[in-house]
Amino acid sequence: MKQKKKSDVAVLLDYAGSHKGLTFLGLALSAVSMLLSMAPYICIWLVARDLIAVAPDWTRAQDIAQYGWLAFAFAVAGIVLYFAGLMCTHLAAFRTAANIRKQGVAHVMKAPLGFFDSNASGLIRGRLDAAAADTETLLAHNLADIVGTITLFVSMLVLMFVFDWRMGAACLLAAVISMIAMFSMMGGKNAKLMAEYQAAQDRMTKAGTEYVRGIPVVKIFQQTVYSFKAFQEAIEDYSSKAEHYQGDVCRVPQSINLTFTEGAFVFLVPAALFLAPGTLAGGDFAGFITNFAFYAVFSAIISTALAKIMFAASGMMLASTALGRIDQVMCAPELKVPEHPQSPGSSRVEFEDVSFTYDGAQTFALSHVSFTAEPGQTVALVGPSGGGKTTAASLIPRFWDATSGVVKVGGVDVRQIDPHVLMDQIAFVFQNSRLFKASILENVRAARPNATREQVLSALKAAQCEDILEKLPQGMDTLIGSEGTYLSGGEQQRIALARAILKDAPIVVLDEATAFADPENEALIQKAFTELTRGRTVIMIAHRLSTVVGADKILVLEEGRIVEQGSHQELTAAGGLYARMWADYNKAVQWKITSE
Ligand code: ADP
Ligand code: MG
């Protein structure tokens, strides 16, 4: 069953961790500073009352001056405490936001690698950033504002009752009406507008990430492609949602002011006309006028306070959704680490009735897949795009965990193997291997940080990278990646293969690793492959069927199921899907040869 939900403020204070005390200190200071800031008004009130009581006797000028000094001292103390409080809440806010970022990043690190496919990294970052920024504002300003202004509001109201209950009553009524108006505005519609505003913000981040990723395509085709239009639309949508939401928020203070002015009008004008002067504190009409003036001043303060509370409350709501977004990051499925890890006995890879779903059992990317790759064997996965090949490969290093069934390495369920040990067993080469912004040396050495230069060099040689090293001025110390020397797709792939060779893992998983090879590179890549796969257990996903001809076993995956399996000879003879794919492949190759 669901646990009772913690309040947002409680969750936030959890994130504040050891800075909770600082937060509370800041809030207390801001409340006290608000109380002190009222002192001048009280003093003026006292003076006015005395003046009226003793007027026109000015002999008490001395007392007035004393009130003046008192008011000044309180006001200064109020300001000092206000800034001290602000400093505390700011410090606490920055540290809490830093905690949120750190915890978010730490948690995301624990998620299985597959999580990052379906959650655009830009979106994860955007969510963390927005959440941290919103909570920063909330803790630094909004919470202190709420505590301070509520203190101010309540004490002002009490004060007015003390001075003159009618004045207090008028103010209370106006406050109640404002609150009702405020909550009816904030409650339903405003919350909806805010949710829309935040959803639009998420969409914009996502569209932005996708657009930037697709820029090469935009440039090549010299036109506005879908992702650009989608991004533009997302920006426009966001800005209109933001306007709606902010516009709604801004209307509220005006209406509060109006209610208060009406309050003054509705209660004080009849009072003046019907209650008749003389029934009010101060004893005469002058007293009433004074009250009226004070009502005006106080109600202005109170209505400002209310408006501020409203703004702060809307900030709180923003932060509460921000917390929801942190949850989406923090709820990333965690890779479960076994309590009593077992060691794999060999490099055998087995799938036992494995099914897998990305979307909570609506569709199955893999259904009841079983096969074995004996140590040293090469098993090829082929089939139409979307058949589940990449999914199957990602279950071996636990980028995802199987929904049902068991994936075994060396006879042990992969979930029972220490993830680091498992990773050590597997070299994974992706279709578009990402190289970091670093030297070639560092890129290759990522596979084995304590490898010597000589070992890296021999891995590069085995991966047929000598021609690359020769043409680069600094050899393997040349910087590559986003700001470094440009390497072709095939060259990058060979360096990625060198990395896999250096890793020297008993199991090699290749996901369409030849797909980007150009004709000149193809032969070299094939040679690098031979080096990498020799004597190892290989799971190979191949687009070019020529690379799988020699495999010990070929599995044909279609819609998540193994529809055929066997050797190349067996499958071509069987005349099924593989035979058709093979015929098509040869036609395409033939066409390429004749057209060149
Ligand atoms: P293949 O590698 O054979 O082309 P995949 O394993 O990539 O096939 O995909 C199998 C199915 O799972 C497809 O329907 C695909 O849309 C879906 N799929 C793949 N990756 C994800 C993901 N990260 N989230 C949700 N669905 C996915
Ligand atoms: Mg794939």
Bridge partners of residue 380, in order along the sequence = 540, 554
Q: Which atom of ligand 1 is nearest to the CA of 366?
A: 10
CA 334, chain centre distance (Å): 16
Residue 340 lies in a domain: no
In the chain, the N- to C-terminal Cα span, in Å, equals 66
If asked whether residues 111 and 239 sit together in one domain, one would say yes
Give me the helices (H) in 185-284, please: 191-221, 226-270
Which domain-ending residue is among 296, 330, 364? 330
If asked whether residues 318 and 397 sit together in one domain, one would say no
CB atoms within 5 A of ion ligand 2 belong to: 390
Distance (Å) from CA 15 to ligand 2 centroid: 39
Length of the chain: 596
If asked whether residues 296 and 410 sit together in one domain, one would say no
Distance (Å) from CA 386 to ligand 2 centroid: 7
pLDDT of residue 458: 94
If asked whether residues 429 and 289 sit together in one domain, one would say no
CA distance linking residue 419 with residue 400, whole number of Å: 12
Ligand 1 pocket (Cβ < 6 Å) reads 117-118, 358, 365, 385-391
pLDDT of residue 274: 46
Which domain-ending residue is among 297, 330, 363? 330
Residues 6+ apart with CB under 8 A from 280: 164, 166, 271, 287, 288, 291
If asked whether residues 174 and 265 sit together in one domain, one would say yes
Distance (Å) from CA 394 to ligand 2 centroid: 10
If asked whether residues 261 and 361 sit together in one domain, one would say no
If asked whether residues 410 and 322 sit together in one domain, one would say no
- CATH label of the domain that carries residue 192: 1.20.1560.10
Tell me if ipTM is over 0.85.
yes
Residue nearest to atom 22 of ligand 1 (CA): 118
**pLDDT tens profile 204-246:** 888 887 777 666 665 665 555 666 788 888 999 999 988 888 7
Task: Report the DSSP pairing between strands 426-429 and 378-382.
Answer: unpaired
Residue 344 lies in a domain: no
Residue type, 565: Q
Q: For residues 312 and 252, is the Cβ–Cβ distance under 8 A?
A: no
Residue 336 lies in a domain: no
Residue owning tokens 């479960």: 336
**pLDDT tens profile 37-67:** 888 777 777 777 666 666 555 555 666 777 7
Q: What is the DSSP string of 205-222?
A: HHHHHHHHHHHHHHHHHT
Residue 458 lies in a domain: yes
- CATH label of the domain that carries residue 488: 3.40.50.300
Residue 339 lies in a domain: no
Distance (Å) from CA 384 to ligand 2 centroid: 9
Distance (Å) from CA 115 to ligand 1 centroid: 13
The counts of H helices and E strands in the chain are: 20, 12
Mean pLDDT value across the chain = 80
Residue 343 lies in a domain: no
Count how many Cα atoms sit within 13 Å of the Cα of residue 25 in the half-sphere of its side chain: 13
If asked whether residues 497 and 538 sit together in one domain, one would say yes
CA distance linking residue 104 with residue 326, whole number of Å: 7
pLDDT of residue 485: 77
Residues 6+ apart with CB under 8 A from 28: 85
If asked whether residues 202 and 258 sit together in one domain, one would say yes
Is the dihedral angle over the CA atoms 374, 376, 377, 382 positive or is it negative? positive
Residue 335 lies in a domain: no
Task: Report the DSSP pairing between strands 537-541 and 507-511.
Answer: parallel
φ/ψ bin of 535: left (φ > 0), alpha (ψ from -120 to 50), beta (otherwise): left
Ligand nearest to the CA of 117: 1
In the chain, pLDDT over 90 holds for what percent of residues? Answer: 28
Residue owning tokens 């209307």: 251
**What is the extent of the structural domain holding 55?**
8-330
CA distance linking residue 426 with residue 437, whole number of Å: 24
Question: Percent helix, strand, coil in the chain (nearest 5)?
Answer: 65, 10, 25
Residue nearest to atom 16 of ligand 1 (CA): 386
Whether this model's pTM surpasses 0.90: no
If asked whether residues 58 and 97 sit together in one domain, one would say yes
Q: Which atom of ligand 1 is nearest to the CA of 114?
A: 23
Given a cut of 70, the residues of the chain with pLDDT beneath it are: 1-6, 8, 49-63, 113-123, 182-183, 185-188, 213-227, 250-296, 299, 318-319, 331-332, 432-434, 482-484, 514-520, 592-596
Q: For residues 152 and 305, is the Cβ–Cβ distance under 8 A?
A: yes
**Residue from 359, 391, 556 whose mutation best tests the ligand 1 pocket (most atoms within 8 A of CB):** 391
Cis peptide before 56 (omega within 30 of 0): yes
If asked whether residues 74 and 152 sit together in one domain, one would say yes
Which domain-ending residue is among 299, 330, 361? 330
If asked whether residues 554 and 496 sit together in one domain, one would say yes
Ligand nearest to the CA of 356: 1
CA distance linking residue 522 with residue 528, whole number of Å: 10
Residue owning tokens 């650009």: 228
Q: In the chain, how many domains are there?
A: 2
